[in-house]
Structure 1
Amino acid sequence: MKFLKKIPRGIIGTCSSHLVMVCRDYLPEVLFLLFTLSARVLAADHGLENQDFNLDSILFNRLSSAPHGGVVLSTNLKNRIAEYCPDETCDRLIAPARISRKIFNSLAFVYFARLSGYSHLEGWVGDGELSEVKNLLNDTPEYCRCTMKIEWARCLVKWGAKNHGLRLYSVRHDEGRKFVSKINIEKY
């Protein structure tokens, strides 16, 4: 610290304030870049295909960025869960944990983007983004590859229910109580 005594006091204050500004301005981007790089290394170590990794990260980011708090994704020993609760009501998608994350996140994305009926989500996802997901989802049946976005979304969610055990629930919180109702996906 003796060398600091030789530097005029004003220069130290200027240097430290510039360092703080640089850290404040660029640290989030640097941390995100490091996270992305480490995630890609982990994905490569586990043999995940680059396309699947990109789709997973895109879907996770888009679901998390939905208006009014985002779609919360979680996994426990038995299930994968996607829940959107913009107010005292929630839509909850549940599927067995054995379903791949790519398929589950895709089903959740398509459901919340086109079928949930929440006015908060209108315009959240453009048709271009939905087309990207449609093109990257090569695991879906050919009969679901309709040209109309809403029909494709309905078909995909029904396919998820039939082949992957996808279930849909409506959750309402009222006066400290929680009311859960199962919704028949076939009605979509």
Structure 2
Amino acid sequence: MDIASGTTDLTGHMLIAMPGMGDSRFEQAVVFLCAHSDEGAMGLIVNKPSGDVTMAGLLEQLSITPAPGLERRQVHFGGPVEMGRGFVLHSPDYQSGLTTLQVDGEFHMTGTLDVLETIARGDGPARWMAMLGYAGWGPGQLEEELAQNGWLVCDASPELVFDIADASKWEAALNSLGIPAHLLSAEGGTA
């Protein structure tokens, strides 16, 4: 398998931003890839809370009454593309009546209002993260960034995505590859 040449489908994997990436929006980012093909890639950053948008606040803006406890749940910065568009990355126990993308056996993604309505009622997916915006790559762009040592790739797990604190996800993703964060350098090389 040669990731750089585009022969590997990375859908359902995680991208770990390398130091020195050059784009501050992706500094220490961990991105879950929802789709990857010859036509490009789409992913959601899973470790960058929006800071000022709570789930309860978002629901109230949409005229949806939030269930108790949602005022503590942060909406995340999913990426710099279409910041006004929302997505929910969630466990496979929920399927939208409108449209849900089955990424793999452990993750689904829904970008329609009905998932927010079920979460607000308290009967949505067991595990979920809400995001505004997404990370997108055109044809060959992600492969080029991988070849330039911009990202590492690791397996995704529900524990890494949903259970680990946002501030610890980057290091946890590196640890899943057996790489201590303190050994990484912003300088890349080739073999």
TM norm structure 2: 0.25
Which one has the bigger helix percentage?
1
Q: Which has the larger radius of gyration?
A: 1
Determine which structure has the larger strand proportion and give its number.
Answer: 2
The answer to which structure, 1 or 2, has the higher relative contact order (CA under 8 A, 6+ apart) is 2
